[in-house]
Structure 1
Amino acid sequence: MPNNDDFRVKRIQRMLLEMARGNFFYSLEPTNKNDNVASLVVMLNMVNEEIRASFIHQGFANAHNTPQCIIQLSFLMDPDGTIELVTNSTCSLLSALPKEIIGKPITDFMTEGSQKVWAKKMVKHLKRERSETVQFLEFITKEGLLLGKDCHISVFQSFDGSGQKILLDTVFFSKGEPFGTELPKKTLKVTKGIKEAKVTLTPEDIEMIRDVHDMIINNLDKDLPLLKDLALQMGTNEYKLKYGFKQLYGTTIFRFLTHERLRKTKTLIQHSNLSLKEIAHLTGFKSAAHFSRAFRDKYGKSPSDLRG
């Protein structure tokens, strides 16, 4: 893959066009160069990931306007990894025609790092008659954009007796209208367990809770005050803040804070050269050990493993 300045700028232009179309699942491959273009690539990847992740936080208030379409990446291969079938959506994602994909090794469409992972992992899985695993892989389009995703890989015996087959698939949230244009007209009832609703959230209450959400996102390095103090600060009561937030975002305030901190650390690990200690400090973790433990619990691997 060429990596001259002209090609780097063209990739950035393509990335911006995809973002303008509402496709936030692409990224750009970082380089070892230390110049303005390299800095722009890092920032664009981080902004893109922030926008993509924000889609899941629109809550039930905008349930009809959140992304509802799922684009699927799917390959059917023989034991050697040669592609036999591919979906139309996969062709669209890779910016290639079916005839440019079918008959080619799957590794032709992977980054160098993912090629090595694929070769190492599949040796083990092909020794079994049936096998399933999940592996993070990065695919690359003709324009040089990256598609990094946890992929579900299944090895199975074909029904027609032709031997083993490999099925690789994953999904990407895309399209739809991620942001509502106005607050809902109806009030939102909040319940606790199976009891009758005790709190009714007005549009003003919903806006207030979204302000809390944004405050958390923008201050991940700071600890939250006690809920009663936060509620007083926001001009509401603790009960309404506590259960209103959970109703809108599907989790508690403090779990949301932890989730966002870990998501931010993952982005910084992948798209910056900051040390793990610096990343832990920037995202509000008290120590590198605490950060590493929480990260492993969340993602199943240590921060150093991800940076690899």
Structure 2
Amino acid sequence: MPPSTVPALSRARCTCTGAAITPRSPPVSAKVRPATGSSAAARRGAFQLDRVTERDADGLPDPQDEAGVRQFLDRIGTSRHHGSPAPLTGPEERWLHDRLASPVELPRVAGFAAALELRKALTPDETSRLLAAWQEEYAGRLSAWPGRRPVLNALLRQEREEAWDVAAALGPDAADTLAEHPSERALAALRATVLAGDDRAVPAWFRTHRTLHEPDPLGAARALSEELPARPAAQAALLAALRTAVTGDWRTAHPEADRGAAQAFSALTAVRFAMDDRLPHPLRVAAARAAYDQVGHVREKTGAERRGSSATSRARCHQPRLRGSRA
């Protein structure tokens, strides 16, 4: 679809919802692109508007063009959840490093830091300047800055002592990053967070303990369950980590299995663990509760499928036959 002018677009309506299409900002021109992922735009319809932006010969945007910068970061990737990152070209990496040059404009640089550290490319000097600006601008609320994880990751990767003060200040927000750098010190920090009452760190504590001390997932879960408080939420969080680990190991051993098979296997683990005498009683109780909930979910799903099948059969029975058709 060729670019069209803003006045024309402002009068358009989405064919999926009938909602008026409004450009994001006052661009000179715009284009329609397919919406991807689970974003709100993707749920609203099949397409969303995006600006037509200028790029130089190396495919780099004007640093002052917010839409162009966003498109560039989307293209190169800033999160490992989207798969293994593609390597940066020389001009791309230099462009990102230039964005982190002093003085640091902290609200704008989180994406630049994430893109570089995803490729382990934040330098010690950049990490120090980002850390200083972060601690000054977000004093007392370090978790509020979106760039916290790449900077903590860089501190741990560079084996900087400041990493531990930052991790302590972030609390459970540091858990996953600490688990990616397993060490006895990381294990102790995660344990302290969990025993202080924050169950969000339980999965990271489990993964780190398993990496350092007990590869067998049941053995790791047994050891940690005995340290955990008896409160149901903590044991449920450990059970979820155990089921995730066991299902992940099963998927590795059965690469041909589809998602449905993996979900079925995961559902059965709750039943199996509820009767496994190798696990402590609180963890088996959590497994029994999960199994009960899982059975209820399966019954509800099966009942819905049966009702749908019966409705389809009744509809077919009441369809009028054409004259002359055979019974």
Query: What TM bracket, shorter-length normalisation?
Result: under 0.3
Instruction: Determine which structure has the larger strand proportion and give its number.
Output: 1
TM-score w.r.t. length of structure 1 = 0.23
**If the length of structure 2 is used for normalisation, what is the TM-score?**
0.22
Larger radius of gyration: 2
